[in-house]
Amino acid sequence: MNSLTLILEKYLKRTNSFIRFLLVGIMNTLTGLSIMLLLLNVIGLSYWLSTFIGNSAGAFVSYFLNRSFTFQSESKITKSLPRFIAVILVCYFISFTVSHTAAEIISDISFFGYIFLSKENLAVIIGTGFYTVMNYFGQKHLVFN
């Protein structure tokens, strides 16, 4: 095999696991959000309890799908689950800090005098991007390696 083939194979393997990671993210978001809205609007639970249970369910789906589907890991749950939680928390606090700082620095994006994207919404998008990339590498290298 030549070096170009090796580079492409390595890139495609990374890309495929990242795409699987994004698909799992869609699944856990849909699961968590559906549960939140059901608990909040149909069952009548409080906002805090609904979001806590929904986010917990989404994290549960994320852990098991990333473990089996994305990274095909055989790591023990007793070892990988605490690391999973730690990585999520660290990524959240870093992305929150980055997005909060970005909200202070950036300006609204306007189009002909109308705010197209507020600085707060732009900061959320930036924070989400940071969170996703950091979480992927954390899960890949620290949790499911």
- DSSP result, the chain: --HHHHHHHHHHHHHHHHHHHHHHHHHHHHHHHHHHHIIIIII---HHHHHHHHHHHHHHHHHHHIIIIIS-----HHHHHHHHHHHHHHHHHHHHHHHHHHHHH---EEETTEEEE-HHHHHHHHHHHHHHHHHHHHIIIII--
Exposure of 121 in the CB half-sphere (CA atoms within 13 A)? 7
Q: Which amino acid is at 34?
A: S
- Give me the tens of pLDDT residue by residue for the chain, a chain 145 residues long: 567 666 656 655 656 899 889 999 999 999 999 999 999 999 999 988 999 999 999 999 999 999 999 999 999 999 999 999 999 999 999 988 888 888 788 776 777 777 777 778 788 888 888 899 999 999 999 999 8
